[in-house]
């Protein structure tokens, strides 16, 4: 007799490309259910064999199959879930579930595809482990016809942090169809957050070596990527970002899962340091990526935590407790590095930045979105309290200190004019020339749960996904349509045009077709493609010249 359920957890089918890393959320779930004596396997589309997966699923090996779905790859995830569901159900009854940010903020749409039975909301580790304990006591009969079984519906009624479809009460003659039931999660406590990301972080048995081996092999074949540290570990240390940027849904992940606002929870400097020490000395990590949306948090407590962490790292490196070459990367906001004085003026947090440099922070991701002052304050961007001058002061200082700013820029901002866009490209390329890195996103994507999506006034594009078995159509929210007709006319052509530009650049320089380019070069090529599509050939020519100069001096950030 089995001791527990057999569970398969899958990543989204979004191949990460070169930069692969273990799915930490799934490993946390695995730790949670294994502590309750259930068996759990993780399948990562980036590194595992899909044929083997299908064979296992078809053999009926799993009671539950769950995916950490993503919105960007919704159609591919639906394809995968449909296929796995068919394979699994051909063997015996299997429960199909989803979790993560997208499953929390877009549960209604995922459930209405009728390919998933339950969406688990928020940080679902405890909820899911307890749910599995109860489910294990069931006969393996999870479905009755097209609906969940009566037993399962009763169990779900008593479970927090889930969304599912349940039949509406029938009148005598009319079947009223299905209603979506949403039962928020309990409020996340400091202790639970610490258990998830500190205690589990110290004991999770994550196979980093598998990822690093693959990346080492890829790195040998890579072009212009010599400075990338393969032995990188990701850490989460903050519960969420509470800012209100219009397009971003990160801010609503926890509030929507709990149906209430919550205060930010963060690991202490000591806890973060212990995680770093553990992964550096016991696992062999040489670089750390803090995957928090805003690692410094920006309030007094967050800034103090960051200073203390940097001081601990500096001491750890000098005492030999930490390898001296450890590097750190994080995402932050420009305002984190500015201190607002009582008269309202802002000054640089120079001491903080110097400590970060000394501790080994090499690269800081900044959600710039646009270098147009006007656009920063439009509802779709809504960068509250920040100005273009603030951007310049912080980026200049990072460059002066030798910390690479990685600027995230969006092209298709709904309120943008062509001049706004050209201004933004001009300033961004000025900073690329000075050594900044860039990641360019061609459209402003629609993320369920973001203020702009909830606003409803902004026209958007959807793309259909059609279930090949039932013919049911799901309209996937894709991107917001720019108000400016010229930009609207080219915004969905940018990626293809940029890919063609890449091919012609590689030919011009005699590089192989699969040569990997640095992000800053890829970003500049995207800018060239935009300028050409908008027939701003003066800008395109200037950027070409810059590319040639930078390639001759090899000054593109690798």
Residues between 31 and 90 with contacts to ligand SF4, criterion CB under 6 A? none
Residue span binding ligand SF4 (CB under 6 A) among the ranges 102-110, 122-130, 243-251, 343-351? 243-251
Sign of torsion over alpha carbons 542, 548, 552, 554: positive
Residue span binding ligand SF4 (CB under 6 A) among the ranges 158-166, 174-182, 217-225, 241-249? 241-249
Q: Which is nearer to ligand SF4, 23 or 365 (CB)?
A: 365
Those residues whose C-beta lies under 8 Å from the C-beta of residue 557, and which sit 6 or more positions away, are 404, 432, 435, 436, 437, 518, 519, 520
Q: How far apart are CA 300 and CA 202, in angstroms?
A: 27
Q: Which is nearer to ligand SF4, 293 or 501 (CB)?
A: 293
Tell me how long the chain is. Answer: 558
3-state SS class at 558: coil
Residue span binding ligand SF4 (CB under 6 A) among the ranges 58-66, 124-132, 210-218, 240-248? 240-248
* Shortest distance, position 367 Cβ to ligand SF4, whole Å: 4
Residues between 323 and 342 with contacts to ligand SF4, criterion CB under 6 A? 333
Q: Which is nearer to ligand SF4, 161 or 298 (CB)?
A: 298
248 counts as binding ligand SF4 under rule CB under 6 A: yes
Q: Are 65 and 84 in contact (CB under 8 A)?
A: yes
13, 30, 234, 243: residue in contact with ligand SF4 (rule CB under 6 A): 243
Those residues whose C-beta lies under 8 Å from the C-beta of residue 179, and which sit 6 or more positions away, are 165, 166, 167, 168
DSSP bridge partners of 278: none
Q: Which is nearer to ligand SF4, 231 or 293 (CB)?
A: 293
Q: How far apart are CA 71 and CA 525, in angstroms?
A: 26
Q: How far apart are CA 346 and CA 391, in angstroms?
A: 12
Q: How far apart are CA 291 and CA 274, in angstroms?
A: 17
Q: How far apart are CA 333 and CA 524, in angstroms?
A: 23
Q: How far apart are CA 314 and CA 390, in angstroms?
A: 28
293 counts as binding ligand SF4 under rule CB under 6 A: yes
250, 252, 404, 429: residue in contact with ligand SF4 (rule CB under 6 A): 250
156, 241, 266, 411: residue in contact with ligand SF4 (rule CB under 6 A): 241
* Shortest distance, position 159 Cβ to ligand SF4, whole Å: 29
88, 156, 245, 521: residue in contact with ligand SF4 (rule CB under 6 A): 245
251 counts as binding ligand SF4 under rule CB under 6 A: yes
Instruction: Encode 267-284: b = buried (16+ Cβ within 10 Å), e = exposed.
Output: bbbebbbbbbbebbeeee
3-state SS class at 72: coil
The DSSP string of 259-285 is TS-----B--HHHHHHHHHHIIIII--
Helix axes 388-401, 350-359, angle to 10 degrees: 40
Q: How far apart are CA 184 and CA 178, in angstroms?
A: 19
How many chain residues bind ligand SF4 (CB under 6 A)? Answer: 10
Residues between 349 and 408 with contacts to ligand SF4, criterion CB under 6 A? 367
Q: Which is nearer to ligand SF4, 285 or 376 (CB)?
A: 376
Q: Which is nearer to ligand SF4, 316 or 405 (CB)?
A: 405
195 counts as binding ligand SF4 under rule CB under 6 A: no
Q: Which is nearer to ligand SF4, 118 or 394 (CB)?
A: 394
* Shortest distance, position 251 Cβ to ligand SF4, whole Å: 5
3-state SS class at 361: strand
200 counts as binding ligand SF4 under rule CB under 6 A: no
* Shortest distance, position 131 Cβ to ligand SF4, whole Å: 30
* Shortest distance, position 241 Cβ to ligand SF4, whole Å: 3
How distant, in Å, are the alpha carbons of 213, 284, 291 from that of 232? 12, 9, 12
Residue span binding ligand SF4 (CB under 6 A) among the ranges 108-116, 172-180, 218-226, 244-252? 244-252
441 counts as binding ligand SF4 under rule CB under 6 A: no
* Shortest distance, position 213 Cβ to ligand SF4, whole Å: 32
* Shortest distance, position 244 Cβ to ligand SF4, whole Å: 6
Q: Are 321 and 277 in contact (CB under 8 A)?
A: yes
Q: Look at the block and give the residue holding tokens 């026209």.
A: 459
Q: Which is nearer to ligand SF4, 101 or 442 (CB)?
A: 101
Q: Which is nearer to ligand SF4, 251 or 474 (CB)?
A: 251
Residues in contact with ligand SF4 by CB under 6 A are 241, 243, 245, 248, 250-251, 293-294, 333, 367
């Amino acid at each position: 007799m089995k001791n527990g359920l057999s569970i398969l957890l899958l990543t989204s089918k979004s191949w990460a490309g070169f930069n692969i890393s273990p799915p930490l959320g799934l490993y946390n779930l695995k730790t949670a259910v294994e502590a309750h004596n259930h068996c759990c396997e993780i399948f990562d589309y980036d590194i595992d064999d899909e044929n083997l997966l299908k064979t296992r699923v078809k053999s009926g090996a799993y009671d539950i199959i769950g995916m950490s779905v993503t919105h960007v790859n919704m159609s591919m995830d639906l394809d995968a879930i449909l296929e796995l569901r068919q394979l699994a159900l051909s063997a015996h009854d299997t429960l199909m579930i989803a979790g993560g940010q997208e499953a929390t903020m877009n549960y209604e749409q995922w459930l209405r595809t009728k390919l998933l039975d339950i969406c688990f909301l928020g940080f679902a580790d405890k909820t899911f482990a307890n749910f599995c304990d109860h489910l294990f006591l069931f006969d393996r009969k999870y479905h009755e016809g097209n609906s969940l079984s009566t037993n399962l519906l009763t169990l779900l009624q008593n479970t927090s942090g889930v969304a599912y479809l349940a039949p509406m009460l029938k009148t005598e003659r009319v079947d009223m169809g299905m209603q979506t039931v949403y039962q928020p999660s309990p409020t996340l406590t400091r202790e639970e957050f610490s258990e998830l990301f500190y205690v589990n972080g110290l004991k999770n048995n994550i196979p980093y070596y598998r990822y690093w081996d693959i990346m080492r092999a890829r790195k040998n074949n890579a072009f212009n990527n010599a400075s990338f540290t393969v032995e990188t570990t990701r850490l989460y240390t903050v519960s969420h970002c509470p800012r209100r940027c219009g397009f971003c849904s990160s801010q609503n992940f926890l509030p929507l899962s709990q149906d209430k606002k919550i205060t930010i929870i963060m690991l202490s400097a000591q806890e973060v340091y212990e995680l770093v020490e553990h992964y550096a000395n016991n696992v062999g990590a040489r670089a750390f990526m803090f995957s928090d949306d805003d690692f410094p948090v920006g309030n007094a407590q967050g800034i103090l935590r960051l200073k203390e962490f940097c001081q601990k790292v500096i001491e750890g490196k000098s005492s030999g407790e930490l390898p001296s070459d450890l590097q750190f990367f994080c995402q932050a906001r420009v305002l984190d590095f500015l201190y607002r004085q009582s008269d309202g003026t802002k000054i640089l947090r120079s001491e903080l930045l110097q400590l970060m440099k000394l501790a080994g922070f090499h690269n800081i991701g900044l959600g710039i979105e646009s270098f147009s002052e006007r656009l920063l304050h439009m509802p779709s961007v809504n960068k509250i309290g920040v100005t273009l001058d603030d951007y310049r002061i912080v980026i200049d200082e990072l460059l002066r200190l030798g910390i690479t700013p990685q600027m995230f820029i969006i092209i298709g901002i709904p309120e943008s004019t062509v001049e706004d866009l050209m201004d933004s490209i001009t300033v961004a390329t000025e900073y690329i020339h000075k050594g900044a890195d860039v990641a360019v996103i061609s459209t402003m994507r629609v993320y369920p749960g973001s203020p702009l999506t909830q606003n409803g006034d902004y026209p958007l594009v959807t793309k259909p996904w059609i279930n090949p078995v039932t013919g049911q159509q799901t309209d996937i929210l894709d991107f917001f349509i720019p108000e400016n007709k010229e930009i609207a006319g080219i915004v969905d052509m940018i990626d293809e045009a940029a890919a063609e530009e890449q091919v012609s650049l590689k030919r011009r320089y005699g590089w192989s077709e699969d040569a990997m380019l640095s992000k800053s070069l890829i970003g500049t090529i995207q800018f060239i493609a935009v300028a050409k599509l908008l027939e701003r050939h003066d800008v395109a020519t200037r950027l070409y010249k810059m590319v040639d100069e930078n390639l001759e001096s090899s000054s593109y950030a690798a």
